[in-house]
Structure 1
Amino acid sequence: MASEPEVIRDKTAMRRWSRSHRSKGKTLAFVPTMGFLHEGHLALVRAAGALADLTVVSVYVNPGQFAPSEDLDAYPADLRGDLHKLADLGVHAVFCPTNLYDYGEGGGRGEVQARRTEGAVGSSGLPVSCLEAAAGDGSGHETWVRVEKLERGLCGMSRPVFFRGVATVVAKLFNIVEPDIAVFGKKDYQQWRIICRMALSIYKSLSKAKYAALHEQSTCQELKSLVVQLVTEAGGIIDYVEIVEQESLIPVEEINRPAVICIAAWFGTVRLIDNMEINP
């Protein structure tokens, strides 16, 4: 019988687990779920397992994507059954956090459901999630990751808080798990496209800077300015952009030897990092 994956509940412990394995040259594939796994989930896990050395699955029912009128507490759960299914697929770790938001140790779905109000709008008159409604005045969580143009139509018309909740929790999970690869299904095509757009914001910025470095004879300062511009246009706030030598990590003024563009940026309360090597 296959051994069950390691169950990790603490955010710091999850990040430590990922970094420990990546420091040994291992690659990580990640599949985020809300649990109660069915064959569709398991197909994604199988695909992830073929793409990297290690597979991590998260199980977290996200209150930020449920409206107060939706029955968050009735969402089905079977963690023991999920672990058995994931063990059969050779999953290495399952991340099961209690609370991914920033205030207190509460915020699990049971507490949020018990404290939520019945209204679907907060004091500002705008739609709120279960998470915000639990605060009583709609102020529980005020910073969201949004892909506004893509979230407006289709399901976004009837579920106005859903996609910002999904984008926010996925960004948080990326920041904690730090995967090399993430695998999502296309059953909810709008959700898939929103996640792709969010995840690609920094990658596209780095790709354009790399192209400019190799083909347009741009200076390092011009390349960094380009990255800042593109990330800002995507809704991010730059922490740093640096171009350094690959071996020594010493900043360079000209790219005449192997270098790497390194970036960190904030999207809401989530800090994302990425890099791209340039080999002239």
Structure 2
Amino acid sequence: MLITDIKSMKEISEKLRKEGKSIGFVPTMGYLHEGHISLMECSKKENDITVVSIFVNPTQFGKNEDLDKYPRDLERDLKICKEVGVNYVFYPSVEQMYPAGYSTYVIMESLVDRLCGAFRPGHFKGVLTVVNKLFNIVKPDRAYFGKKDYQQYVVIKKMVKDLNMDIQIIGCPLIREKDGLALSSRNKYLSKEERESALSLSKALFKAKQLFEKGETDVSKLKEEMEKIMRSYPHVKEIQYIEIVNPENLEPKEKAEKGDIILVAAFVGSTRLIDNIQL
């Protein structure tokens, strides 16, 4: 069922909770792919009711980012949700979520100044604000986030803990295409040649993991090897970061250990892609 206004969604959630039903929630920006489907399926297994939100959130896009051209296809998304067996799709308008005079935001003082946050100022302020609002509207017991956006997953877990929210945050595995490319709605932007170069991210990550498993723990050497692989592809225009971090607090490491996360962000052509792997 498609719900387009906040009041109706809140009323449905209240009714479900009174009936003792558990609510699983998958927040998305739409243009759904197998990664999103894996989150929905996980929610369906663990909850009585699954709600998916589709909302391209303007406050998490910076100037000159791709808000206007971000792919949208509601009809296709609704078909996917129906096939998976989602109970409710929440599809609010920007005017509802941010009415005239809106001025309240969620700001975190740690974790957001590094990695993607260093290159996208204000991004996590927008993410945390919209997720907080969606949590207040949908009132889920559990919320599902893909670990492809690993920093986002950690940051949201921190917000929920800091603000004493009674919501369990479930991180689900990153999903890849057969050739290794991490699934992303932004992959649609890539030309055939650029898509070939986009594989450099996963190839660099797999190589670093392989070297680590053979005994290499020097982070600078692992990063150097990754950079060499990525720069060998013609359409990799800018490598924003390659970092090996603690999985809990995202602090950069000098010596890699089992469980650490390698994260990478780069522009392939004009498309910004991110990827990661756990050691």
Q: Same-fold call, TM > 0.5?
A: yes
Hey, what's the Cα distance between the residues in 1 that align with 2:40 and 2:98? 29
Instruction: Give the Cα separation in 2 of the matches to 1:175 and 1:63.
Output: 19
Letter in 2 for 1:68: K
2-structure distance, mates of 1:49, 1:103: 32
Task: Name the CA distance, whole Å, in 2 between partners of 1:141 and 1:151.
Answer: 23
The whole-number CA distance in structure 2 between the counterparts of 1:54 and 1:204 is 19
Aligned twin of 1:103: 99
2:4 aligned with 1:9: yes
Change in CA separation of 1:63 and 1:40 when aligned onto 2, cut-off 3 Å: same
Question: How many Å separate the matches in 2 of 1:41 and 1:59?
Answer: 11
Which deviations, in whole Å up to 9, do the C-alpha atoms of 1:47-99 show, x marking residues without a partner? Answer: 01111100000000000001121131101111111111111111000000002
Q: Give the equivalent residue in structure 2 for 1:273.
A: none
Q: Which residue of 2 aligns with 1:76?
A: 71
The one-letter code sitting in structure 1 at the alignment partner of 2:47 is A
Distance in 2 of aligned mates of 1:78 and 1:48? 23
Aligned residues: 165
Structure 1, unmatched stretches of 5+, are: 1-5, 105-139, 206-280
What is the DSSP-based 3-state SS (H/G/I as helix, E as strand, rest coil) of the residue aligned with 1:150? coil
Q: Is residue 144 of structure 1 aligned with residue 105 of structure 2?
A: yes
Q: Does residue 85 of structure 1 match 2:85?
A: no
Matches within 5 A, 1:80-229: 80-99=75-94, 100-104=96-100, 141-203=102-164
Alpha-carbon distance in structure 2 between the residues aligned to 1:23 and 1:154: 41
- RMSD value, Cα: 1.6
Secondary structure, counterpart of 1:50 in structure 2: helix
1:23 corresponds to which residue?
A: 18
Deviations 1:175-222 (A, max 9, x none): 0000111111111111110100001124389xxxxxxxxxxxxxxxxx
CA distance in 2, matches of 1:141, 1:12: 17
Q: Distance in 1 between matches of 2:58 and 2:98?
A: 13
5+ residue gaps in structure 2? 167-279
Query: What one-letter code is carried by the residue in structure 2 that aligns with 1:18?
Result: S
Rounded Cα–Cα distance in structure 1 between residues aligned with 2:163 and 2:133: 15
Alpha-carbon distance in structure 2 between the residues aligned to 1:143 and 1:41: 29
Q: Which residue of 1 aligns with 2:57?
A: 62
Give per-residue Cα distances to partners, 1:223-265, cap 9 Å, x unaligned.
xxxxxxxxxxxxxxxxxxxxxxxxxxxxxxxxxxxxxxxxxxx
